[in-house]
Amino acid sequence: MDFDQEIVLGFCDEADDLINRWEALCLELSKSADDGRLGELFRIAHNIKGGSRAVGLNELGDFIHKIEDGITLIREGKVGFSVKINSLLLETQKLLSDWISSVRKDFSFAPDWKPLVNRYKAAFQGEGSSVTIAAIPSETSKDFPKSTEPDVAAPQVVEREQKEKPVVAAKVASQPAATGHETVRVSAQKLDQLLQAIGELSIHQSIIWHARNHFSSAGKMITHSVQLSQKLTKELYDRALSLRMQPIQSLFQRLERNVMELSTSLGKEVDVAVVGGDVELDKTVMEKIVDPMTHIVRNAIDHGVETAEARIATGKSARGLITISATQDAGSIEIRVSDDGKGLRADKLLQKAQEKQLISADAELTENEIFQLIFLPGFSTAEKVTDVSGRGVGMDVVKRALEELQGTIRIESEVGKGTSFNISLPTSVSIVDAMIFGLCGQKYVVPVTELDEVIDLTSSIELGEQKMFSLRGQIVPIIGLNNYLSHKRDPKSKFQTLFICKRGTKRIGLLADEVFGEQQIVVRPLNENISGAFGLLGGTILSNGEPGIIVDVPAIADRYLKEISNEGVAA
């Protein structure tokens, strides 16, 4: 097995985090055992398993798979949770942690984990269950003879294995430090503080910039240095921001490897095409989508792509194709995983959801809504529980992880043609181009990306109460932004500027007084105590030092559309 150094070390970093969490969970479990914590433990085991197999640490994968089985038995109530089991879980944590730190030095390292699994088995039997014996196959009878190390005492084995594999170790050590760039895990909080400080600096900078107009005597030199330092501040901010951004290639590479290995183990022939690896994504966002993406890709191979015979029978080429692509959109990144497999059967999904009583038997759903069912907790389309997927933990975890990142996931599928998962994630959103506009004597901010276009309103048609406007032949309703931002109509209001916002196929015109200009703003999230009011996205500091409120124009357009559709029902 050849290892890709960067990928394995990346996995080790993540595994360390997971193992830390494992320890915390065990400690909490010792106080009160509840299913939520066991569930999290199970997901950690599942993630480590997936990750370890993906990077080629199969021994680790095999071990954690056994542990995962054990946790499942506890969760299903077939085995009572006891102090003894908890201490075994903690021992597992220790073993994993040692394992990972040894793997960092020697990728082919593997301790003898079987005694620990056997002790689980003994503990489970001690809990008086007959199921466990059948569910966990005896290690001594089946797997043990295959092991290269028949010793039982683990620590000795560790030492011996290390001695016996000097060649491999040397090989790893002699690998040139070609990567050169060591990854430093910076606490995101520190980075944010740095960003905040620099952001503040840039605000003061723009205050000076505006003040210079009032000190004409200050002369050319000051103007020049102010100009320069403004340039520098911007550069500084961009650099600090870019610390967080990383090309998505490393993630794609991992997924690619995943596909290759998994397809081999499932006996399927699958090619991978990767597009857009140079698209950059925020580091935290990237770390958080590793597991969801892995799940999606594994699902695509396990459930999507058919076996070679089945493919030939339906007139497709024997080799399946999985395409993983990333594209940079204005304010977001679109990641797409598509396969050319058998597609999702809407009728089957519906039947399954009804069987599992996830939806009521008489629910009428559109095809699109049916596809969304697979994101429900406890839904799994696999006929049997496989090693790869099919425990029903995957897709709901995927959705939740993406939602935490303000992302969305959408499924497109056609029976016989294939399925594609479209994920949309916000890029780092702390600095945006925005338009400063006036409304009833107040200044507000709207991100340029939220607007379709901005026009000067010259003429409008009135249809009863409702104002309309003809935009290149399309009739666009006009609504006053003041109605949604608790402003009374100011008689002095000019109402000249119309923001056109596109919602689906509809266009809505939102009326403001005037536009003052366009500038880059640093988005400040509002504190919990003042956030969440309707129509407001966040705050920023304007160039005159005043706070500026960022208006959620699309949300206002959506509310208007909802209001008129309700009126339609009432009428």
Partner 1 sequence: MTGNEEKYLVYAICDELYGSPLLSVREVLEYQKPKFMPNMAKHFSGVVNVRGAIVGVVDLRTKFGSPADINRKTSMLLCDTETGPIAAVVDHVDCVVAFGDADLERKPPVQSKLDQSYLLGVAKMKEKLVTIIDLNKSLSEENLKVA
| Host H or E run for residue 161 | helix 154-164
The reply to whether 189 sits near partner 1 by the rule CB under 8 A is no
Using an 8 Å Cβ cutoff, are 438 and 514 in contact?
yes
The reply to whether 547 sits near partner 1 by the rule CB under 8 A is yes
The reply to whether 193 sits near partner 1 by the rule CB under 8 A is no
The reply to whether 536 sits near partner 1 by the rule CB under 8 A is yes
The reply to whether 393 sits near partner 1 by the rule CB under 8 A is no
Among 486, 518, 562, 564, binds partner 1 (CB under 8 A): 486
The reply to whether 529 sits near partner 1 by the rule CB under 8 A is yes
- Measured from the CB atom, is 73 or 542 closer to partner 1? 542
- Round to whole Å and give the CA distance between 319 and 271: 7
Q: Stretches 221-229, 303-311, 374-382, 531-539: which one binds partner 1 (CB under 8 A)? A: 531-539
Binding mask 487-506 for partner 1 (x = CB under 8 A): x-------------------
- Measured from the CB atom, is 267 or 532 closer to partner 1? 532
CB 534, min distance to partner 1, A: 5
Q: Stretches 86-94, 95-103, 241-249, 535-543: which one binds partner 1 (CB under 8 A)? A: 535-543
Give the DSSP letter of residue 342. Answer: S
Among 20, 30, 175, 196, binds partner 1 (CB under 8 A): 196
Among 115, 247, 426, 535, binds partner 1 (CB under 8 A): 535
CB 535, min distance to partner 1, A: 6
Among 8, 96, 521, 541, binds partner 1 (CB under 8 A): 541
Residue-wise DSSP of 35-52: HHHHHHHHHHHHHHHHHH
CB 374, min distance to partner 1, A: 35
- Round to whole Å and give the CA distance between 498 and 457: 6
Q: What angle do CA 510, 514, 520 make, to 5 degrees?
A: 90
With 0-12 / 13-18 / 19 or more C-beta atoms within 10 angstroms meaning exposed / middle / buried, residue 387 is middle
Q: Stretches 134-142, 330-338, 490-498, 522-530: which one binds partner 1 (CB under 8 A)? A: 522-530
- Measured from the CB atom, is 341 or 548 closer to partner 1? 548
Q: Stretches 3-11, 172-180, 216-224, 521-529: which one binds partner 1 (CB under 8 A)? A: 521-529
Using an 8 Å Cβ cutoff, are 394 and 378 in contact?
no
Among 527, 567, 569, 571, binds partner 1 (CB under 8 A): 527
The tokens of 165 are what? Answer: 């594999």
Residue-wise DSSP of 483-513: GGTT-PPPTT----EEEEEEETTEEEEEEES
Among 12, 26, 203, 434, binds partner 1 (CB under 8 A): 203
The reply to whether 200 sits near partner 1 by the rule CB under 8 A is yes
- Measured from the CB atom, is 366 or 527 closer to partner 1? 527
CB 340, min distance to partner 1, A: 49
The reply to whether 534 sits near partner 1 by the rule CB under 8 A is yes
3-class SS shares of the chain: helix, strand, coil, % to 5: 50, 20, 30
The tokens of 94 are what? Answer: 């220790």
Using an 8 Å Cβ cutoff, are 257 and 55 in contact?
yes
The reply to whether 528 sits near partner 1 by the rule CB under 8 A is yes
Among 10, 51, 199, 392, binds partner 1 (CB under 8 A): 199
What number of chain residues touch partner 1 (CB under 8 A)? 28
**Secondary structure, 3-state, 241-303:** HHCCEEECHHHHHHHHHHHHHHHHHHCCCEEEEEECCCCEEEHHHHHHHHHHHHHHHHHHHHH
Crossing angle (nearest 10°) for helices 154-164 and 166-174 = 60
Q: Stretches 141-149, 331-339, 494-502, 528-536: which one binds partner 1 (CB under 8 A)? A: 528-536
- Exposure string (b/e) for 417-451, b if CB count within 10 Å is 16 or more? ebbbbebbbbbbbbbbebbbbbbbeeebbbbeebb
- Measured from the CB atom, is 77 or 547 closer to partner 1? 547
- Round to whole Å and give the CA distance between 191 and 201: 15
Q: Stretches 59-67, 270-278, 402-410, 526-534: which one binds partner 1 (CB under 8 A)? A: 526-534
The reply to whether 357 sits near partner 1 by the rule CB under 8 A is no
Amino acid code (one letter) for 204: H
Q: Stretches 78-86, 126-134, 279-287, 485-493: which one binds partner 1 (CB under 8 A)? A: 485-493
Distances (CA, A) of 435 to 304, 438, 499: 45, 10, 11
- Measured from the CB atom, is 352 or 524 closer to partner 1? 524
The tokens of 130 are what? Answer: 């007959």
Sign of CA dihedral 440, 443, 449, 453: positive
CB 388, min distance to partner 1, A: 44
Residues in region 435-464 near partner 1 by CB under 8 A: 442
Using an 8 Å Cβ cutoff, are 321 and 270 in contact?
yes
Among 36, 176, 315, 532, binds partner 1 (CB under 8 A): 532
The tokens of 205 are what? Answer: 């900078």
**Interacting residue ranges for partner 1, rule: CB under 8 A:** 196, 199-200, 203, 442, 484-487, 524, 526-530, 532-536, 539-541, 545-549
